[in-house]
Structure 1
Amino acid sequence: WKDVAWLQSISHVPLLLKGIVTADDAERGVNAGARGILVSNHGGRALDTLPATIDALPEVAERVGGRIPVLVGGGVRRGTDVLKAVALGASAVLIGRPYCYALSVGGAGGVQRAIEILRVELEMAMQLMGRRSLREIDRSILWNTLMPTPR
């Protein structure tokens, strides 16, 4: 963590920390001067026992408490994934694989189409929930799977 503070002290660009999956590490990052937290498990490539980013996001976002942006990367494939991430506290999402697939199939036009699909899905989901802006998105839109359901 001293290296993070040192890097921030010699850099003239905002430092975002990637690979944060716990509230304690998020707090350490804030204290070290990070300007943003990226909840990421590096695609599960570094350690396959790390939690999914969507599962790690709530505790990180809660601990950071709006002091700096919390971004999330990994697993975003649909507009509804963006909606869930925002509901769980993400300031923004990072999307990689869908754009790579779109680029390989359709070039720049494919990437533009992928962005459009995500935007339309997100807008449609928000409309179906009666939400007009991302500021109106919170955890109340999520189905609580921990609650018993009628059978």
Structure 2
Amino acid sequence: RLNRFSMPPRCQENSPAPWTSCKFSFHMIPYLREYVKRDLKIVIRGITSVDDALTAAEKGANAVWISEKAHLRSAASPISTVHNIAQTLASLHPSCEVILQGGARRGIDVLKAVALGAKAVCVDTDLLMWGLCRDGNSKGLQDLLSMLNEELKLAMVLTHSRCIAEVKANRVVEWIQPKSHQ
């Protein structure tokens, strides 16, 4: 052996690049937990359903990462998926966090995701590339991020939230849900 680590289940040790021939399964999370320091978090990316999020949390993941790209095959928007997953995890595994990547193109989208349970909202790479290409330099990207920040601040003012920690579903959900016709 070249090192003290053994390959996780389902990986071929004699492969030239064992991690590329490896198919991830949730059963690998406890294996990773053995080798990861306790202060480092295990984040599982590409979660698309409540069942996957629950399985990841039960196996020891600290966070689940919901990506917009994973939703191309489903009808649900990433923000509505955040709501479903965060609600379920909050009741069954409150220490497991939810992270959203993509689906947030305006400050109000960031506010909605946080209000519905996301711990973090990541700007999608397509949007970042648009910002870079707009002016051909980093100024476009700086403008884009400033615009997102200003829109988020405005949305927080409209919901009477002084800081991001005050953004809660009870201040936002009624505002973003469509009104039913009487």
TM-score normalised by L of structure 1: 0.85
For structure 1, the residue ranges without an aligned partner over 5 or more in a row are none
Taking the aligned partners of 2:161 and 2:155, their CA distance within structure 1 comes to 9
Residue correspondences, number? 147
CA RMSD of aligned residues (A): 1.9
Give 2:145's aligned residue: 115
Instruction: Please give the per-residue CA displacement for 1:14-45, whole angstroms capped at 9, x wherever unaligned.
Output: 22111212222112111222121112242545
Aligned equivalent of 1:131, options 161, 169, 180: 161
Give 1:38's aligned residue: 65
Give 1:84's aligned residue: 112
Taking the aligned partners of 1:36 and 1:81, their CA distance within structure 2 comes to 20
Higher relative contact order (CA 8 A, sep 6+): 1
Aligned sequence identity (%): 28
SS of 2:109's equivalent in the other structure is: helix
Instruction: Please give the per-residue CA displacement for 1:89-148, whole angstroms capped at 9, x wherever unaligned.
Output: 111101122211111223222211111000000101111222111122122212322x52
Correspondence list, 1:41-60, <5 A: 41-42=68-69, 44=71, 48-49=73-74, 51-60=76-85
The answer as to whether partners of 1:103 and 1:110 remain within 8 angstroms in 2 is yes
Correspondence list, 1:18-33, <5 A: 18-33=45-60
Structure 1 range deviating more: 115-124 or 64-73: 64-73
The answer as to whether partners of 1:20 and 1:40 remain within 8 angstroms in 2 is yes
TM-score normalised by L of structure 2: 0.72
**Bigger CA radius of gyration:** 2
For structure 2, the residue ranges without an aligned partner over 5 or more in a row are 1-25
